[in-house]
Amino acid sequence: MATDDVNVTLDRSVALVLFDFLARAADEEEGEFLADALQHKAELPALWATLSALENALPEPFAADYSAQIKKARAAVVAKLGGAAPKAR
């Protein structure tokens, strides 16, 4: 029987980097940062739901050393998957 829930397995460092990005991009000014990328009004709430799921699954965002943990996670993601240089704003 099909369910409406989907389970996704992510490397912890990937999940943490994704959480950090979504916390900045989707929550800031109702997703204003993402305005050019969003094509439908359902996309921002979907990102909020993803952010909420990650927030419930990860203890790191509430840790006193969160900034050190996210720095380490970013390095791990780049080491495992490579990285693209962000465009200057």
Which of the four pLDDT bands, split at 50, 70 and 90, describes residue 64?
A: very high
pTM: 0.85
pLDDT at 88: 53
Q: Give the residue among 74, 73, 68 at the shortest CA–CA distance from 86.
A: 74
Per-residue confidence (pLDDT) for residue 59, from 0 to 100: 96
Give the list of residues 6+ apart from residue 37 with CB closer than 8 angstroms, or none: none
Quickly tell me which residue has 């909020």 as its tokens. Answer: 48
Quick: pLDDT tens for 8-63. 999 999 999 999 999 988 877 677 778 888 899 999 999 999 999 999 999 999 99
Burial pattern 54-79, b for ≥16 Cβ within 10 A else e, equals beeebebeeeeeeeebbeebbebbee
| Identity at 36, one-letter amino acid code | D
